[in-house]
A and B are shown apart, each in its own frame.
Chain A
Amino acid sequence: MALELAGVAKCYARWFGLARTDVLRGVDLGVARGARLGLAGPNGSGKSTLLRLVAGVEAPDAGTIRVLGCAPRAAAAADRVGWLSDDALFPADMSIRAALKLAGSIHGLRGRELSRRADERLERVGLRAHARQTLGRSSRGMLRRFGIAQAWIHDPDLVLLDEPTAGLDAEGFVVLHEILDEARAAGTTVVIASHAASDLAERCDQVAVLLDGRIAEHGLPADVFARGGLLEIYRRHARAAP
């Protein structure tokens, strides 16, 4: 398995620890190597937190996570994980090319290989012409394209994409779908968190719906969306909740 989660829980302290918010309440999930998992859920359901835990950015309060057979931080440290975060706080004061080279360098790429890979990825996501533009002056769609390029710059085995289509234009969608197809051919496992049911239904092997910190639905896209879209799923579970 590329990804195994068992009983994963995470809460955040508020009011200097006097109160807490449970974001994940026991998530069990498994993703096979080379598969593509779509992660859906309303705002605040815990999608981004789940990806941060898998990326090793944060540690769970309970439960276990295995990423490519090892602990999340170990997998990340071995440069086997690519991550596009939701907030994508890339250095706004750097040019697109310099920031992409920085991304490559933190994954251990050096010298000509780094330059070659950066130029190749810029070409792939259609940002070559904007390479000298700073990220701070880039549109949201361009930042998403940059985020996609940096997530793949080191050819990871697992890629975590948090809202990759947010702000993308039509051409950006095409680029993303082509990159996802190339990733599938290369055997890369991909987890996509998105609000777009169509993306998840068309591009993923399986879909998991997170509601209130738990996996409410998990299965093939056709089965999950058999009785309606995401809104219907959310409403159905809201009615069923005690």
Chain B
Amino acid sequence: MNARLAFLAARRLSASGLVLAALALCVWIAVGSGTASDLASNGGARDAAARAGAWTEACWTTFLALVAPCIALRAASLRSRGEVAWTSVSRSGGARGEASLATGALVAVLGLTAVWSAFVALGPGAPERVPGFAGRVAGPAKPLVDHERPLAWRVSMPAEPGLRARIEVSLSITPGGGGEVQFTARRARSDSSVDVHAATGRALVLPRGGVDVDVPGGEGEVEFELSLPEPGARGYVASDDVTLWRAEPAAAPKLRIAARAVLAVAAWAVLAFGLGAWLTPLLALGLLASAWCALWWTEAWRLGAAIGIPGAGLARDLAIVAEGRAPSSLAAGEFATAIACVLVGLLLCRRGPEGRP
């Protein structure tokens, strides 16, 4: 690897002007049109964790919308600026030169995201432990619920203590568009004869929201019951399943979003670098932006997240963070897919046409 080539690539990717502009935008969000807490309270957040989450979401959304495309565009133009042909007549040429440029691009991505993470850390933080995503279990078979007919279902649950379960409910079909929702969890004995542990959570839903309940500890299946105590109330389950949450350190939301953003931007930047060997930088950016938008705004994210495409679930993770919760920690599969993306980018670059696109 050639350090000077890597440094050249890193310098070109570090769009300092744009980073400063995006930082200024975040500062303006924080102090110009209102503080982060105002922003959060306008959105309905009620506690410090949610205020911190709203700040984190706003900052990272700004980064992903403004800075990340610029990084990808600059990465795509690295191969077409002539150095690859020029440096190929040397020991640092060919694959080594391209690997040097890609390494520089990765270093720049790490540097920029580190600066951004530091900036996000300066904002409001959660004062104590926050709920962190711990998994999903099945929801009710039927989605409709009303005062007369509560929903009940049983699921196998891990024996982990301290878990909380959450379900999303919409009462938009209730007259008045809201009301109280009651969510109960009972841990049955293995013979299912007597309920030994039970907990109930209540929430006012207007017209859509989540309701949490502590999952009783112990072995055996858990029976969930979703009911609407107010006469005449009707609603439906708005989430596909019941999510489980465990207490995590206050810094978990910021750290996990930062880790996911680093992984996603790094992988996509090297993909852009590889595509830049075949397409003009703008076309390469357009292609990647199309794929990114599909993952961001359509249901394609489920498939993408399932196979571990870097950044596929970022929009959903940011939504979780905005609620003052922490998304799941990075899985080994996500690292593996990100490394695969980097290798694909390098291969694309290696196999690209010899002339400039």
Q: Which 5 A-B pairs have the closest CB atoms?
A: A89-B82, A106-B92, A106-B90, A83-B89, A76-B89
**A94 proximity list for chain B (CB < 8 A):** 8
A187 an interface residue at 8 Å Cβ cutoff? no
Highest count of chain A CB atoms <10 Å: which of B88, B90, B94? B90
Give the residues from 45 to 59 in chain A that come closer than 8 angstroms, CB to CB, to chain B.
Answer: 52, 55-59
For the A-B complex, the count of residue pairs with Cβ-Cβ distances under 8 Å equals 74
Interface size on B, residues (CB 8 A): 24
**Contact B90 A91, beta carbon cutoff 8 Å:** no
User: What are 5 of the A-B contact pairs (CB < 8 Å)?
Assistant: A55-B88, A79-B91, A85-B86, A106-B87, A107-B90
Range, interface on chain A? 20 to 34
Give the residues from 17 to 75 in chain A that come closer than 8 angstroms, CB to CB, to chain B.
Answer: 52, 55-59, 73
Highest count of chain A CB atoms <10 Å: which of B3, B4, B82? B4
Where the two chains meet, the residues of B that have a C-beta atom closer than 8 Å to any C-beta of A are 2-5, 8, 11-12, 81-83, 85-94, 97, 354-356
- Report Cα–Cα, A89/B81, bound state, in Å: 7
A171 an interface residue at 8 Å Cβ cutoff? no
Cβ contacts A72-101/B at 8 Å (1 or 0 each):
010011110111010111110110000001
Our pick among A57, A59, A81, A107 for the contact of B85 (Cβ within 8 Å) is: A57
**Contact B90 A76, beta carbon cutoff 8 Å:** yes
**Contact B93 A77, beta carbon cutoff 8 Å:** yes
A166 an interface residue at 8 Å Cβ cutoff? no
- Report Cα–Cα, A77/B91, bound state, in Å: 4
- Report Cα–Cα, A27/B88, bound state, in Å: 23
Our pick among A73, A91, A107 for the contact of B94 (Cβ within 8 Å) is: A73
**Contact A90 B82, beta carbon cutoff 8 Å:** yes
**A12 proximity list for chain B (CB < 8 A):** 355
- Report Cα–Cα, A135/B109, bound state, in Å: 26
Chain A min CB distance to B168 (Å): 49
**Contact A107 B91, beta carbon cutoff 8 Å:** yes
- Report Cα–Cα, A45/B56, bound state, in Å: 60
Query: Given contacts A58-B354, A106-B2, is CB(A89)–CB(B89) below 8 Å?
Result: no
- Report Cα–Cα, A76/B135, bound state, in Å: 55
Highest count of chain A CB atoms <10 Å: which of B86, B91, B354? B86
- Nearest to B82 among chain A residues (CB) is A89
**Contact B354 A89, beta carbon cutoff 8 Å:** no
**B85 proximity list for chain A (CB < 8 A):** 52, 57, 85, 89
Our pick among A52, A77, A88 for the contact of B90 (Cβ within 8 Å) is: A77
User: What 15 new A-B contacts, CB under 8 Å, besides A58-B354, A76-B89?
Assistant: A55-B89, A58-B355, A78-B91, A81-B89, A83-B89, A89-B83, A90-B82, A93-B11, A93-B12, A101-B4, A102-B4, A105-B92, A106-B2, A106-B87, A106-B90
**A83 proximity list for chain B (CB < 8 A):** 86, 89
**A107 proximity list for chain B (CB < 8 A):** 90-92
A229 an interface residue at 8 Å Cβ cutoff? no
